[in-house]
Amino acid sequence: MIVPAVGDVYRIQVTEVYPPKTKRCICIHPTGLWFFLINSENRDIYDCIPILKEKNNFLDYDSYISTNRTFEFDNELILKSNYLGRISENDIGAILNRVNNSKFLSQNQKTEIINSISYWKTNNTTP
């Protein structure tokens, strides 16, 4: 069983997008295996945060973290996925701020993600 940490980035086959494709995904809640997607375009409906290639060598170009929706993957899918690296603590902080003010996520999702990231920031580990 793999337990990713907050900020870990994987290349995962995502079937919930159209068309289904392999995407870079950032772990935001290790216990629930919740992820945000990284996209190449900044669209308002995705409530994006910019992420720069110069600070994240796993990117091919500057991209955007979509914070409007969580994606939950099972452990088997993560085992088949490629670990690419980690985003910076600054990017994790930007996610925390965006989630806190999100109009797209439910209050339960916000609470779970905020608690997960806060725990990681305090302990630099997964519960």
- In a domain, residue 71? The reply is yes
Find tokens 């295996």 and name the residue.
Answer: 33
Indicate the pairing of strand 34-39 with strand 48-51: unpaired
pLDDT in tens, 82-94: 999 999 989 999 9
- In a domain, residue 2? The reply is no
Give the HSE-up count for residue 111: Cα atoms under 13 Å, Cβ half-sphere: 3
Domain that holds residue 26: 8-122
- In a domain, residue 17? The reply is yes
Q: What is the mean pLDDT of residues 51-75?
A: 95
Q: Is the pLDDT of residue 46 over 80?
A: yes
- In a domain, residue 3? The reply is no
Give the CATH number for residue 62: 2.30.30.110
Query: What is the total count of domains within the chain?
Result: 1
The pLDDT value given to residue 121: 85
